[in-house]
Amino acid sequence: MEKYTKDDIIARAKELASMIASTEEVDFFKKAEAQIHSNEKVSSLISQIKGLQKQAVNLQHYGKAEALKKTEDKIASIEEELDSIPVVQEFKQSQIDVNELLQLVANTISNKVTDEVILSTGGNVLSGETGAEVNNKNQSCSHH
């Protein structure tokens, strides 16, 4: 089996990142994000939320529980309004799609590394045991 350095792997990871950045999922995310930023209603609601969040931090700091609750309720109400806007829904869905793609890549790499380790030690991929585990089991079984 060919040996690779960390630098080789990082270089390949960068290639993979470029490939991912060129997918339909990321393309849709970029378009949805641009639409979010050019939508005045969305920008206004986000500004309101940011202002209220700062207010909430101050109220919490000064122990104003009742006023904090009202502010948090206002934030939740504006967030609901924001979430009901189609372009925001599309943006959130695009975030989910990109995250799922990244998770799929990470899981695929992780599973493949595990399988390669198992196979290279003469283990059993189906049982998930390395060669050392398989040999240890066989030795302990033959002594009985």
What does the pLDDT look like over 13-35, one tens digit per residue?
999 999 999 999 999 999 999 99
How far apart, in whole angstroms, are the C-alpha atoms of residue 119 and residue 111? 12
Mean pLDDT of the region 68-85 = 97
Q: Decide if pLDDT at 2 tops 90.
A: no
Mean pLDDT of the region 53-79 = 97
Task: Estimate the crossing angle of helix 86-120 against helix 65-83, to 10 degrees.
Answer: 90
Question: What is the model's pTM?
Answer: 0.74
Q: Is 144 helix (H, G, I), strand (E, B) or coil?
A: coil
Segment holding 22, helix H or strand E: none
How far apart, in whole angstroms, are the C-alpha atoms of residue 52 and residue 58? 10
Mean pLDDT of the region 90-95 = 96
Summary mean pLDDT of the chain: 92
∠ at Cα 26 (20, 28), nearest 5°?
Answer: 155
Q: Decide if pLDDT at 111 tops 90.
A: yes
